[in-house]
Structure 1
Amino acid sequence: MKRKTVILFIINIFFIFILGCAKEEKKVITVGAEISLKGALNQIVEQFQESNKNIIVNIEFDASKLLRKQALNGTNLDLLLLSSKEDMNELKKEKVISESKEILENSMIIAGRKKIDQLEEIKGYRVAIGDPEYSPAGVYSIEILKNSQLFEEIKPDIVLARDVRSAMQYVDLYEVDYAFIYKTESKVMKNAQIVYEIPNELHSPIIYSCGILSGKESEEIKSFYKFLGNGNSREIFLKYGFKVLDPRNKINVEKMKNKGEKK
């Protein structure tokens, strides 16, 4: 009898251990994110995981157009954050994305070491932009140059970078004279500075969207999706220089804040 009791006791302990491990099993979310979100998103994930101990968020950073291609060709990603409305709309059209929202807005600047008063002053210098085949920032850059009637003159001096972060590094490492980058990328520059702020009317609005991939609508993914652009994540995005959009009515939170300060 004692032997049977001991065996039953061991079996019970074993099952309790297995059940305990099952309860502690963490859910993993894989997010594909535009490279320009790196600093802000890493901090947001930290905050999210502090209050969601059972969820691990892995992030794969890359150029938005490469992430779009990855999603179209089948991917392990659960959620996407892109810096191009066009790319997100294409994924929605192909029913790759089941739910999406616009959360951020950015702007373009020219980075370098010498201040300029007009865009024409970059003529004759080496200029880095993101490769438009992969990077929305490159598409915006060419749009700016064409709208300014400068593209044909500057085209021979353009240096293509894989993405906007690489274009920023080119100018920061003295490999080019100027670079067209998102304003938020200036936060991580060490040697270069903002030498010219590009008027928004010269390019399409730079809207960042996040979307859940079809078939990936788990509670964990929806929880992180909801967290983006809300609460503490909003403050982090603002700190990194983004304009935060209210997904309910597209109101720019930063503009509202500034109006409140003037009163």
Structure 2
Amino acid sequence: MNKRLLTYLFSVSCALGASSSALASEKVTVFAASSLTNAMNEVAAVYKEKTGTQSTLSFASSAALARQIAQGAPADIYLSANEKWMDYVEQQQAIEPQSRKSLLNNSLVFVAPESYPTDSITISASWDLAQALDGTRLATGDPKHVPAGIYAKEALENIGLWQKASPLLARASNVRSALLLVEKQEAMLGIVYKTDALISNKVKVVAELPNNSHTAITYPVAVVKDKANGQVEDYYQFLQSDQAREIFEKYGFGVN
């Protein structure tokens, strides 16, 4: 092989390597709570159209994602469904603390399958929950670690229903799994975020839990430790833009 051909092949190899590196860098990895699935998929699509940057989105319970980030999972941005799990990653020194911001808010509702015989339920300490469940269970996130379940437990305790509800719970690994149980009529009632109820055509809202019955439902965002490059920072700022606000509000979130 002559020297000129070797030089050419070497230059092509270098160009391809540089191109691959550029493509690899043009990607932001976001770990986000399950309840953000629909909204963040649209945010990511709009951002890609605007900038050409591809997002890798990973959705799960805030707890699972926080633990993964603390163990070094390759996330750039973390969006939690409560402050507790953002506190956890901050205590683990796994985020850039100055980037932490309360981005969104939400509320809790009782949902039932569309075929459920009642359209409206009055929630009180005297409510016969077991009868309302008709032999099934009350679906919500596991109160031990899933934010929706943590909020639900707090609300039920304040209303005076927790002792009745606790043995009747179907404890889901995340809020979307709880919604699915109600959609499939495996649970005749569920407690989910209002935003989850709005995206489903298989359930209806039968009651809203008072906002003063539980801690305010906020969604903090932060950049993961040592990931604050220009591209990640641009994506982080886009999440706070008017364009992103319109998307989040379309899906029922309040924007702080």
Q: One fold, TM greater than 0.5?
A: yes
Deviation digits for residues 13-35 of structure 1 (CA, Å, limit 9, x no counterpart): 75267336624622132211100
Q: Secondary structure at the match of 1:111?
A: strand
- Structure 2 equivalent of residue 159 of structure 1: 170
Query: Radius of gyration: which is bigger?
Result: 1
- Structure 2 equivalent of residue 123 of structure 1: 129
Q: Secondary structure at the match of 1:47?
A: helix
- One-letter code aligned to 2:14: I
Q: For residues 155 and 12 of structure 1, what CA distance do their matches in structure 2 show?
A: 71
TM-score by length of 1: 0.84
- Structure 1 equivalent of residue 15 of structure 2: 19
Q: Please report how far the alpha carbon of residue 95 of structure 1 lies from its aligned counterpart in structure 2 after TM superposition.
A: 1.8
- One-letter code aligned to 2:214: H
Percent identical: 28
Q: Please report how far the alpha carbon of residue 12 of structure 1 lies from its aligned counterpart in structure 2 after TM superposition.
A: 4.6
Structure 1 position 228 matched with structure 2 position 227: no
Contact kept, 8 Å, 2:75 with 2:224, in 1: the verdict is yes
Contact kept, 8 Å, 2:109 with 2:205, in 1: the verdict is yes
Deviation digits for residues 139-159 of structure 1 (CA, Å, limit 9, x no counterpart): 000001100111111222111
Contact kept, 8 Å, 1:65 with 1:133, in 2: the verdict is no
Q: Please report how far the alpha carbon of residue 213 of structure 1 lies from its aligned counterpart in structure 2 after TM superposition.
A: 1.1
- Structure 1 equivalent of residue 101 of structure 2: 101
Worse overlay, 19-28 or 88-97? 19-28
Deviation digits for residues 61-116 of structure 1 (CA, Å, limit 9, x no counterpart): 00001111112222111210001112112222332111211110000000013223
Alignment root-mean-square deviation, CA: 2.0
- One-letter code aligned to 1:102: S
Q: For residues 134 and 203 of structure 1, what CA distance do their matches in structure 2 show?
A: 16
- One-letter code aligned to 1:52: T
- Structure 2 equivalent of residue 40 of structure 1: 39
Q: Secondary structure at the match of 2:145?
A: coil
Q: Which runs of 5+ in 1 are unaligned?
A: 246-263
The aligned length equals 240
Q: Which runs of 5+ in 2 are unaligned?
A: none
Contact kept, 8 Å, 2:199 with 2:251, in 1: the verdict is no
Aligned 1:58-77 pairs, distance under 5 A: 58-77=56-75
- One-letter code aligned to 2:29: T
Q: Please report how far the alpha carbon of residue 184 of structure 1 lies from its aligned counterpart in structure 2 after TM superposition.
A: 0.2
Q: For residues 16 and 156 of structure 1, what CA distance do their matches in structure 2 show?
A: 66
Q: Please report how far the alpha carbon of residue 228 of structure 1 lies from its aligned counterpart in structure 2 after TM superposition.
A: 0.5
